[in-house]
Structure 1
Amino acid sequence: LGYLTGDTREPERGDPKWSSWKSENSMVMAWLINFMEPSIGRTYLFLPTAKDVWEAVRETYSDLENSSQIFDLKTRLWNSKQGEKNVIEYYNEMRTLWQELDLCYEDDWECKNDNIKYHKRMETDRVFVFLAGLNRELDEVRGRILGRMPLPSLGEVFAEVRREEGRRRVMLKEKPPTVPETSALVSRNPGKFLNTQPRSGMKLAYPNTCGEKPF
């Protein structure tokens, strides 16, 4: 967040840390612009810092404290389900909604520690929402994550769920359902089981019980 708020200041060009700052600032800028519509993102490509991009977007498109928009975004998040999407698509969809929601607020914290605690709690809430929308076949990894103390970060949770989805996909491909033995016999020797009628001239014998004649 320091690159967005300006707290992570640009060092002097002769400073050994300048190259690292430049690289990280460019990465944050790319992250911001990649989540915009291409026609909008192009207008911010040549701004010098991530903070400049953030401020320009907020000034132009921000809807601070817009109750209708906040309600719409939160409702979409509460109702989000993985469904037919893979985990990456599901996570990116939710992350886009969270970013839009963040633009609706402007918090002014007097105490830095309160800010840290608030964002930690907010991230925990987002972990719960993300896990709640996963498909049932991922119940096992969801249970593992919820059983941990402390709860992993949102990024760590996403990474673990994605790995589990990949593992399940590979295992299901490597282990097709086992064919029952009787079915295998039928498929290998279909002729032995198809003709159930007696041959010409053959009589069928039935057990004689209680002195009754065969019928």
Structure 2
Amino acid sequence: MALRVKTKLGFIDGSIKRLTSHKADYLNWEKVDSMVMAWIINSTNPSLHRSISNATTGRDVWLDLEERFAQTNAPRIHQLWRSLCLMEQEHDTSMTKFYTKFKTLIDELNEQHPLPECTCRASKELIQREEDHHVHLFLGCLDNERFAHVKATILNTDPLPSLRHTFNFILREEARFTAEKEKNNKVESGSRSIHFALANRKGEMGPT
């Protein structure tokens, strides 16, 4: 990202070719390429510096790191799908925290396995189908006892709301559930206090 912002991505993806020393702009190319190399090296773990510092160009450094650390997407995609399918919200985890974790996995999955580029009329349908999959996955992670009613409402909506709107529906239901639970706890606590006070009063009065 930093290289793209500084319009230097071409030095590592091969689109900016290495110049030979007799070219007029060679010194400028060498200066910028050395700067790119320094950025990459300074961004890596110090334990790698010795093995990559002898490379001659920024692209050589990049290819060396790519060869050592790049891996096929399939294992990671499988791991992401497995994590999503097995996710469940724990009772002590807030909905906001849980959704953030879920959305992080979804975003990485979209990055690892993006939808194919399409300019036909089916592209909108493909995007909607993908969004529906995410909504079903998210709802499947939630506790049926707490969210059965709102889940049924969402699933009976046609078309399904977006993942973001689904989260907002669930968030409101969580707030309602929490408020109701706190109200019941106060009523129960008040009942216990009254019962305790009456018991104490009866004890003070003694047997009749």
Same fold (TM over 0.5): yes
**Structure 1 regions of 5+ residues with no counterpart?**
1-42, 200-215
Task: Please name the residue that 2:113 is paired with.
Answer: 105
Task: Please name the residue that 1:72 is paired with.
Answer: 79
Measure how far apart 1:69 and its partner are. Answer: 0.8
Q: Which has the higher helix share?
A: 2
- 1:44-85 CA distance string (max 9 Å, x none): 398279xx9xxx9xxx99978621111100000000111131
- 1:10-39 CA distance string (max 9 Å, x none): xxxxxxxxxxxxxxxxxxxxxxxxxxxxxx
Q: Are the structure 2 counterparts of residues 146 and 194 from structure 1 closer, same or farther at C-alpha, using a change threshold of 3 Å? A: farther
Pick from 90, 114, 120: which aligns with 2:128? 120
Kindly indicate whether the alpha-carbon contact (under 8 Å) linking 2:89 and 2:98 is maintained by their aligned counterparts in 1.
yes
Partner of 1:103, secondary structure, is helix
Q: What is the CA RMSD across the aligned residues, in angstroms?
A: 3.7
Partner of 1:156, secondary structure, is helix
Measure how far apart 1:87 and its partner are. Answer: 0.8
Pick from 138, 154, 179: which aligns with 1:170? 179
Kindly indicate whether the alpha-carbon contact (under 8 Å) linking 1:131 and 1:142 is maintained by their aligned counterparts in 2.
yes
Instruction: Give the counterpart letter for 2:104 in structure 1.
Output: T
After TM superposition, list the pairs within 5 Å mapping 1:47-86 onto structure 2: 47=5, 66-83=73-90, 84-86=92-94
Instruction: Give the counterpart letter for 2:136 in structure 1.
Output: F
- For residues 111 and 70 of structure 2, what CA distance do their matches in structure 1 show? 7
Measure how far apart 1:186 and its partner are. Answer: 4.8
Which structure: larger Rg? 1
Partner of 1:140, secondary structure, is helix
Instruction: Give the number of equivalent residue pairs.
Output: 149
1:130 corresponds to 2:138? yes
TM-score, length of structure 1 as denominator length: 0.56
- 1:150-181 CA distance string (max 9 Å, x none): 21111110011111212222333244244697
Kindly indicate whether the alpha-carbon contact (under 8 Å) linking 2:77 and 2:113 is maintained by their aligned counterparts in 1.
no
Kindly indicate whether the alpha-carbon contact (under 8 Å) linking 1:64 and 1:105 is maintained by their aligned counterparts in 2.
no
After TM superposition, list the pairs within 5 Å mapping 1:145-160 onto structure 2: 145-160=154-169
- For residues 71 and 190 of structure 1, what CA distance do their matches in structure 2 show? 63
Task: Please name the residue that 1:20 is paired with.
Answer: none
Kindly indicate whether the alpha-carbon contact (under 8 Å) linking 2:132 and 2:160 is maintained by their aligned counterparts in 1.
yes
Kindly indicate whether the alpha-carbon contact (under 8 Å) linking 1:65 and 1:105 is maintained by their aligned counterparts in 2.
no
